[in-house]
């Protein structure tokens, strides 16, 4: 059975991908966390918002020469949007940063002054929405999030633009999501989340997911006093099960881990049958550049981006070339996709 896809979505998915159909993308849409990182690096007394604007601009300017796409927010990344390489696709954040801690469920909320049509007009090739998701929470809260995603998917169909959804799993009882206790429950939560959110009714084009384990607790990859929560065989089975649960393309996010750990995760995933179609690599790619910029300014950061930053990107691209699958493979290949015009559908 052929996969039907609107022309706008299809062409933009291709724009966001490299020549192999793989999404080799950079994420630098952090807002609140970006401000905290920069303040810590330069010191609160020396911090200025212009430093964030310039940092995102320079990262975008230099690293998008070797990326197929970049994820940026307009609030802090407006200069980065203008500075990106013309051949690099643009994904724009569509959700408000953070969540209301006084309301149960970490409910998602879109930017009040945006729409997908407006993002399209600003040059976006896709929109990204982060949703905190716990498959084990009360059905009432799940219904709210499911309805939110159904509305989002319907808007994306009408606007004819791909939508990337980033579900971040959590638990109300185990609040330290870096702990061994959370590591034990994370695989099931990630697998169940992928199984639910790749259902056709949500019309999500790409799921941007966490790896299904906390990798620092995999036997053979632990450091210091960290205990081994998973054997390598168990971790491999979780990666495969999470991949098999997906019925739509998915990519991995770096989730703040160091560059070497992200490379290990991607290699391990590929070696054990996870059919991911790319990445949105964030802090793993550029995080160390924040302190370089704080200490040495623009010229120091440019030098770092052309050396270590470039190496970070190229090493990730080598792994993607070896293990990542084209986004359209899950649909049976390009020949199995029937592209239609939205106007024809409306008629």
Q: Could you tell me the residue ranges of all domains in the chain?
A: 3-346
pLDDT for position 344: 46
pLDDT for position 151: 98
Alpha-carbon gap, residue 155 to 115, rounded angstroms: 9
More confident residue, 256 or 205: 205
pLDDT for position 345: 47
Alpha-carbon gap, residue 70 to 23, rounded angstroms: 10
pLDDT for position 346: 47
Q: What is the mean pLDDT of residues 5-34?
A: 97
pLDDT for position 200: 97
pLDDT for position 343: 73
- Asked if residues 213 and 186 have their Cβ atoms less than 8 Å apart, the reply is yes
pLDDT for position 100: 86
Q: What is the mean pLDDT of residues 323-340?
A: 98
Beta bridge partners of 93: 128
Q: What is the mean pLDDT of residues 282-305?
A: 97
Residues 55-82 have pLDDT tens digits of 999 999 999 999 999 999 999 999 999 9
Residues 141-192 have pLDDT tens digits of 999 999 999 999 999 999 999 999 999 999 999 999 999 999 999 999 999 9
Strands 69-72 vs 89-93: parallel, antiparallel or unpaired: parallel
pLDDT for position 101: 82
Residues 219-243 have pLDDT tens digits of 999 989 999 999 999 999 999 999 9
Query: φ and ψ at 92, to 5 degrees?
Result: -115, 140
- The chain-wide mean pLDDT, for the chain, equals 96
The architecture CATH gives domain 3-346: Alpha-Beta Barrel (3.20)
What confidence category does residue 109 fall into, taking pLDDT thresholds of 50, 70 and 90?
Answer: very high
pLDDT for position 342: 83
- Is 347's pLDDT higher than 90? no
Residues 6+ apart with CB under 8 A from 274: 239, 240, 242, 243
To the nearest whole percent, how much of the chain has pLDDT over 70?
Answer: 99
Q: In whole angstroms, how far apart are CA 94 and each of 29, 62, 164, 184? A: 10, 24, 10, 32
- Is 102's pLDDT higher than 90? no
Helices 49-63, 74-83: axis angle to 10 degrees equals 40
Tokens of 279: 């990445």
Q: What is the mean pLDDT of residues 98-118?
A: 93
pLDDT for position 98: 87
Tokens of 162: 């791909």
Beta bridge partners of 110: 95
Residues 120-139 have pLDDT tens digits of 999 999 999 999 999 999 99
Q: What is the mean pLDDT of residues 195-219?
A: 98
DSSP string of 123-158, one letter each residue: T-SEEEEEEEE-TTS-HHHHHHHHHHHHHHHHHHHH
């Amino acid at each position: 059975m052929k996969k039907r896809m609107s022309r706008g979505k299809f062409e933009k998915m291709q724009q966001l991908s490299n020549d192999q159909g793989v999404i080799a993308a950079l994420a630098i849409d952090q807002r609140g966390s970006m401000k905290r990182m920069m303040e810590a690096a330069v010191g609160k007394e020396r911090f200025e918002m212009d430093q964030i604007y310039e940092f995102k601009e320079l990262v975008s300017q230099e690293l998008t020469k070797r990326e197929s796409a970049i994820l940026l927010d307009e609030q802090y990344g407006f200069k980065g949007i203008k500075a990106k390489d013309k051949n690099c696709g643009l994904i724009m954040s569509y959700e408000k940063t953070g969540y209301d801690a006084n309301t149960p469920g970490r409910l998602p909320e879109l930017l009040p002054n945006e729409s997908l049509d407006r993002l399209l007009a600003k040059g976006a090739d896709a929109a990204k929405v982060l949703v905190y998701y716990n498959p084990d929470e009360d059905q009432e809260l799940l219904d709210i999030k499911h309805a939110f995603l159904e509305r989002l998917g319907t808007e994306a169909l009408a606007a004819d633009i791909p939508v990337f959804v980033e579900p971040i799993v959590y638990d109300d009882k185990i609040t330290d999501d870096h702990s061994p206790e959370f590591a034990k429950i994370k695989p099931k939560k990630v697998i169940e989340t992928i199984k639910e959110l790749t259902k056709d009714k949500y019309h999500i084009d790409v799921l941007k997911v966490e790896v299904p384990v906390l990798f620092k607790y995999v036997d053979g990859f632990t450091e210091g006093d960290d205990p081994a929560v998973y054997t390598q065989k168990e971790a491999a089975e979780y990666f495969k099960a999470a991949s098999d649960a997906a019925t739509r393309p998915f990519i991995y996010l770096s989730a703040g881990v160091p560059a070497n750990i992200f490379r290990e995760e991607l290699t391990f995933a590929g070696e054990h049958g996870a059919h991911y179609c790319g990445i949105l690599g964030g802090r793993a790619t550029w995080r160390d550049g924040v302190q370089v910029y704080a200490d040495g300014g623009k010229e120091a950061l440019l030098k770092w981006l052309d050396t270590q930053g470039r190496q970070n990107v190229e090493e990730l691209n080598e792994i993607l070339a070896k293990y990542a699958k084209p986004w359209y493979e899950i649909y049976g290949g390009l020949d199995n996709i029937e592209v239609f015009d939205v106007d024809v559908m409306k008629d």
